[in-house]
Structure 1
Amino acid sequence: MEDNAPGHIHHYHDYPRERLGISKLIWPANSPDLNPIERIWMEMKDSIKNQLEIGADFTAAAVRHSIVNEWRNYPVDKINQHVLSMSRRIEACIADNGRNNFNF
């Protein structure tokens, strides 16, 4: 899923997908963000922010350690829940006429 942002439109992004035989979903610009990874990033950012506020160690190494640690410890079950909620989120988006006035 890519939203046609400038970072997603370069042709070299297509090569790995083509090698693996994965089709690209057509995704309109300015559409509601339904990509499960966005919810995961948000949860991870909140956790990392809390860790850094508590420790107040803002060195690049400390931030990197927090990010790597958070990703390694992010529960696979939660990732699966986000991915498996995709059809419900798409249905909610369709019911909302393509807008993003629903919560998941």
Structure 2
Amino acid sequence: MEQWRIFPGAAGRPKLPQECSDNSSRRSQKTPQQHPKNCRPHLPQLRSVSHYVWLKSNTAFQKKNITPTVKYGGGSVMVWGCSAASGPGRFAVINGTMNSAVYQKILKENVWPFVCDLKLKRTWVLQQDNDPKHTSKSTSEWLKKNKMKTLEWPSQSPDLNPIEMLWHDLKKVVHARKPSNVAELQQFCKDEWAKIPPQRCNRLSASYGKRLIAVVAAKGGPTSY
């Protein structure tokens, strides 16, 4: 399961950290996107640091010029969300250990209601990454039993997932509100997710063709998306 962290300012100087990445369509209204994420408050004594370097033109996204992402400690909140071209979907806070049974429960309680809200027909497709809980035998059987068609997905493809930009948007706005504890972090995430404009989701879906072209041009390497 992909891990993503928010580091809001607890007191004093807030810090905008590097995003944490792990193994993470043309998006359409018929393709609900979903991702579990992990949000963590940061240590207040850390400070924001900017680095400036000289690079040759058009080399910014070459692997040798990219700084690896890092992970930090602290309390955490894991959340799950989904979206489609028509707007943001259901949002859930995950309590306790995430396993296949919990994941299936999340899908049952959130994906079907979202699909019904959108009034989608049976042609919709669910996109998920290849986390073991998503591809386990029990989950695969559950998806088949509940007639949820999934999109074939490569093992690592952050550049191909428009919902990553929604998590980026969420991180910025929650950070600006400076939650001081985990309870506030949870509530702020819920509040701000609900405020995501449908137009934002639509633009991300519309840009999918360009994302594919960029990834092919980079031969599967990093892109500007």
Superposition deviation, residue 27 in structure 1: 2.4
Name the count of aligned residue pairs: 98
Superposition deviation, residue 11 in structure 1: 3.4
After superposition, residues 81-96 of structure 1 pair within 5 angstroms as 81-96=203-218
Which has a greater percent of strand?
2
The residue number in structure 2 matching 1:103 is: 224
C-alpha contact 1:32 1:99 (8 A) present in aligned 2: no
Over 4 Å off, 4+ runs: none
After superposition, residues 44-63 of structure 1 pair within 5 angstroms as 44-52=170-178, 57-63=179-185
C-alpha contact 2:133 2:139 (8 A) present in aligned 1: no
The residue number in structure 1 matching 2:135 is: 9
Superposition deviation, residue 18 in structure 1: 6.3
**TM-score in terms of structure 2 length:** 0.38
Deviation per CA, 1:26-60: give whole Å up to 9, x if none. 322234431111111111012101111xxxx4233
Unaligned runs of 5+ in 2: 1-126
Unaligned runs of 5+ in 1: none
C-alpha contact 1:48 1:67 (8 A) present in aligned 2: yes
Aligned sequence identity (%): 28
Q: CA RMSD in A?
A: 2.3
**TM-score in terms of structure 1 length:** 0.74
Which has a greater percent of helix?
1
3-state SS, counterpart of residue 33 of structure 1: helix
